[in-house]
Amino acid sequence: GHERFAYSDGIASEQYLGEVFDKASDLSSRSRELETHIKDWPSEYHLTRKRAQLLSGFQFERSLKVLEVGCGCGAITRHLGETFESVVSIEGSVSRARLARQRTRDLDSVSIICAPFQGIEFEAKFDVIFCVGVYEYSGAFIAADDPYEAVLNYFSKILSDDGCVVIAIENQFGLKYFSSAGEDHLGVMFEGLEGYHKGLGRVRTFGKTELREKLQRYFQTVSFYYPFPDYKIPDCVFSESFMTSKQAGEIVANLRPRDYHLEREPIWDFAAAALELDRNGVLDFFSNSFLVMASRGTSSGPRFDQEGIIYSANRMERFSTITRILKQDDDRLLVSKRKIQKPELHESGPLRLMEGESDWVGSHSLQTILHLRAKDRRRSLDSLFEPCLSWVATMRAESTLRAGIIYLSGEHVDSIWCNAYPTPKGCRIIDREWVWNEPIPFNALVIRAIFYFLSKENELESMAPCLRIRSSEKLIRSISGSIGVEFLSDDFDRFIELETRLLSEVFGTDRNRYARRLRWFLF
């Protein structure tokens, strides 16, 4: 009788996933093959490697007995099956349960049960229960006076003494909902903020305070983590201590959230608002979603051996990295970047990726400083870009002149403004992970820095009028002139050559197509 289970992405979408899974040779949670079949939001949600990044930063014991509630089409199930020896996953929809079985068909560790969750009785208890993107639907599928309380009560009863429940859910007061984004489940603007009065009680999320209070009625220890932009396709996960340390704003401000229903224009500046919330120490309350670990005992759940973890999942495999923010014994923060794949994959080609560690910089990058200054409509170009003078001086000090052209060493290929931090002693460059095997024309780097600044400023009409020059080439020339850099006639060609080669190496971008896009943008 579960064919009528009232949750689906649509018959066509699920048939498409079935065809993809049938033909796929790599069904793993980090399958690049599956990602090539992404064509819309539902297929992205089920096929992207980012789904596994929600949990891959946590250290679980492999022998733990695991229950997954609401496994959907098996994206998280697949990761759990690769992580644990015994996983039982429940799904109420026959078609989605079959898809989850297809996704995990080569994993003996996974069992899929198609049944209403509340109708199952388990003889043995579980060590971990995963409930990812499901708890908010309790009102639709659980028959009880308070279905959200009933679910947590049931979880607590089928957990072992030191067991842990893992819940991923959107935040009722996520920052994106205060702007233009529709509520993720209903697509209605401000529906969650106003209390879900139109949703008929079938789906709802909770704010941090209410969710914590609900969990504390049944669990002794509750720990919050913060995936950004959200738990669905996370690029990073932060701990509670990091989110409340007033250090996370710079990263969060550059991880702009998506509206999964419509491409609405934001009605205010997400980055600027995130920075202000961080400055006031309340960014955690406005996180777009939560990842919560709730334990019956005093254990805080699985180990999270960092303050934050950041993934570079969009790159070519040989350049994929994991960056960890680590707290030292003296409370100093250290940033550690490591390659995901084996070192031999990185040896050939014009670009090298460097592992390394560096001290955390808690101030604003030059890119962020310029973004905030550009909101002052009275500024001239000279005033707006005055902070860039120290960056120009730092770059010039490390340059050499050859045949009338100023060059920098290849380690500066990514020394653009998002990686530059002004200090009283000059401009500090961070995240120097890339080394180009050729010298970099200084003027091409200047164009690259300005280009990436402008590409982030989608709403130039709301910025200082001095930025409203219709020709991007003329605007870039004007900005460079304000910081004392004059371009030669072929500097833009050098920039296009460098940028297309670089993106081809890192992301596999088609050089000719991207060159046409750059020339359109510039000219």
List the one residue out of 61, 58, 294, 55 whose CA is nearest residue 155: 294
Six-digit token string for 13: 């979408």
Cα 30 to Cα 113: distance, rounded to the nearest angstrom: 24
Query: How does 239-273 read in b/e, with b if 16+ C-beta sit within 10 Å?
Result: beebbbbebbbbbbbbbebebbbeeeebeebbbeb
HSE at residue 371, side-chain half, CA atoms within 13 A, is 25
Mean pLDDT by 10 residues, the chain (523 residues): 64 94 96 96 95 96 96 97 97 93 97 87 94 92 88 94 96 94 91 86 92 97 97 97 96 92 84 96 97 89 94 90 95 93 66 93 94 93 96 96 94 96 91 94 97 80 81 94 94 96 95 95 87
Q: Where are the alpha helices (DSSP H) in 119-207?
A: 138-141, 147-158
Cα 147 to Cα 138: distance, rounded to the nearest angstrom: 6
pLDDT per residue as tens digits for the range 398-420: 999 998 899 999 999 999 999 99
Q: How far is CA 379 from the centre of its chain?
A: 33
Residues 6+ apart with CB under 8 A from 442: 395, 396, 399, 405, 406, 407, 408, 485
State residue 9's pLDDT score: 75
State residue 2's pLDDT score: 54
List the one residue out of 141, 136, 156, 365 whose CA is nearest residue 230: 136
Which residues partner with 359 through β-bridges?
334
List the one residue out of 169, 137, 174 whose CA is nearest residue 259: 174
Cα 319 to Cα 479: distance, rounded to the nearest angstrom: 32
State residue 125's pLDDT score: 95
DSSP one-letter string for 494-507? HHHHHHHHHHHHHH
List the one residue out of 5, 7, 6, 8 whose CA is nearest residue 16: 8
500, burial (CB in 10 Å: exposed 0-12, middle 13-18, buried 19+): buried
State residue 513's pLDDT score: 96
CB 154 within 8 A of CB 146: no
Cα 183 to Cα 160: distance, rounded to the nearest angstrom: 35
State residue 116's pLDDT score: 82
State residue 456's pLDDT score: 82
pTM: 0.94
Q: How far is CA 137 from the centre of its chain?
A: 24
State residue 265's pLDDT score: 79
Please give the sequence-ordered ranges of beta strands (E in DSSP) within 92-235, or none if there are none. 110-114, 126-132, 159-170, 221-228
Total Cβ atoms within 10 A of residue 336: 14
Amino acid at the residue 308: G
State residue 460's pLDDT score: 54
CB 130 within 8 A of CB 166: yes
State residue 459's pLDDT score: 62
What's the Cα-to-Cα distance from 443 to each of 25, 400, 426, rounded to whole Å? 46, 12, 20
Six-digit token string for 138: 């309790």
State residue 4's pLDDT score: 61
Identify whether 229 is preceded by a cis peptide bond (ω within 30 of 0).
yes
DSSP 305: -
State residue 342's pLDDT score: 64
Q: Angle at CA 353, nearest 5°, toward 55 and 419?
A: 80
